[in-house]
Amino acid sequence: MRSVLWLRARGGSRVLVYALLAASAVWVVVPLLWAVLNSIKTLEDTFRAGAIIPFLQFVPTLTSWRTVLMDPGILHALLTSIVVSAGTTLLVLLISLPAAYSLARFDFFVSSRDVTLWFLSQRVLPPVVLLVPFYIMMVQFHLIDTWTGLIITYSTFSLAFGVVIMRDVFRDISKEVEEAAKVEGATPWQIFVWIALPLSVDGIVVTAINIFAFSWNEALFSSAFTSLDAQTLASFILASRGTRDVNFNLAAANTLLAIGPPVILSFFFQRYLARGLSLGAVKG
């Protein structure tokens, strides 16, 4: 519904609104467009002035994309990123959904709000603080440069998020349905699996996307713990950086490959985004 402010706005104000929105769109799109164009240019075209519009001003080529997608190192990093992110997402959901449900429905010897805040406190901790003990732990358990090591690490940082945000989602489910099922003799477990989970699918999906994106984008721990076998796309990119000899075209293709999956996933789920990002503190 149009805002009353918009309906009462004069022509000049309306033009200004669109001008500012257009400017912000340009601001957001320019780096991405720059990456897209560079990824389909030859090296010569990259540094030639006036090569902006494909087909008209330069001949697009898929050479960079072919190089990137045929590079065994990048493909392995891509596979690692997918396995580690998906593995983390599943593990975190498996542990945090029951905990979140329990905290949403029951009270403990301390209030469930305090337990939730305790979980939340793990989220505030700067991850780099845990770098030393995790590094030593990874060495001791021979988990350096393994998928398992990364999944355990990332799950630790996402668990609190999963618990806090899913508790908020479960609390929104009307208790009446659950009470009815209880009267009919359903066990708490049955109520959780057959009523609470199906009613929370939207929230679970948004939580999953957030956890997936976090694991996909994480660079500090993956750079510290992996060198070859379990290098993720993020640590691969960080390892290949250098201000002198960056190949613009390959860098562009790499960037798009790396930022694509989580961004595309998020487009499908615009609802709940603010709520997820603020750990349930902001509804919307």
Percent helix, percent strand, percent coil in the chain, to nearest 5? 75, 0, 25
Q: Please say which residue, 62 or 277, places its beta carbon nearer to other proteins.
A: 277
Contact between 204 and other proteins by CB under 8 A: the answer reads no
**Residue 216 near residue 81 (C-beta atoms within 8 A):** yes
For residue 269, report the phi and psi dihedrals to the nearest 5 degrees: -130, 70
β-partners of residue 58 are: 54
Site for other proteins in 83-102 (CB under 8 A): 95-96, 98-99, 101-102
Q: Please say which residue, 30 or 79, places its beta carbon nearer to other proteins.
A: 30
Contact between 46 and other proteins by CB under 8 A: the answer reads yes
Contact between 21 and other proteins by CB under 8 A: the answer reads yes
179 to 198: interface string for other proteins, x by CB under 8 A: -xx-xxxxxxxx-x-x----
Least distance from other proteins to the Cβ atom of residue 138, Å? 11
Contact between 227 and other proteins by CB under 8 A: the answer reads no
Contact between 254 and other proteins by CB under 8 A: the answer reads yes
Least distance from other proteins to the Cβ atom of residue 100, Å? 8
Q: Please say which residue, 128 or 201, places its beta carbon nearer to other proteins.
A: 128
Least distance from other proteins to the Cβ atom of residue 75, Å? 17
Contact between 220 and other proteins by CB under 8 A: the answer reads yes
Residues 6+ apart with CB under 8 A from 150: 80, 84, 88, 215, 221, 222, 225, 226, 230, 232
Cα distance between residue 83 and residue 58, in whole Å: 38
The interface region with other proteins, picked from 60-68, 72-80, 113-121, 197-205 by CB under 8 A, is 113-121
**Residue 176 near residue 184 (C-beta atoms within 8 A):** no
Least distance from other proteins to the Cβ atom of residue 56, Å? 19
Contact between 69 and other proteins by CB under 8 A: the answer reads no
Q: Which two tokens stand for residue 213?
A: 């994106």
Contact between 152 and other proteins by CB under 8 A: the answer reads yes
Least distance from other proteins to the Cβ atom of residue 54, Å? 16
Binding residues with other proteins: total (CB under 8 A): 123
**Residue of the chain from 59, 75, 201, 277 that contacts other proteins (CB under 8 A):** 277
Site for other proteins in 159-178 (CB under 8 A): 159-160, 163-164, 168, 171
Cα distance between residue 148 and residue 248, in whole Å: 34
How far is CA 208 from each of CA 92, 138, 224, 229, rounded to the nearest angstrom? 9, 25, 25, 25
Residues 6+ apart with CB under 8 A from 216: 81, 85, 232, 233, 234, 261, 262
Assign 108 to helix, strand or coil.
coil
Cα distance between residue 130 and residue 136, in whole Å: 10
Q: CB 70: neighbour CB atoms within 10 A?
A: 9
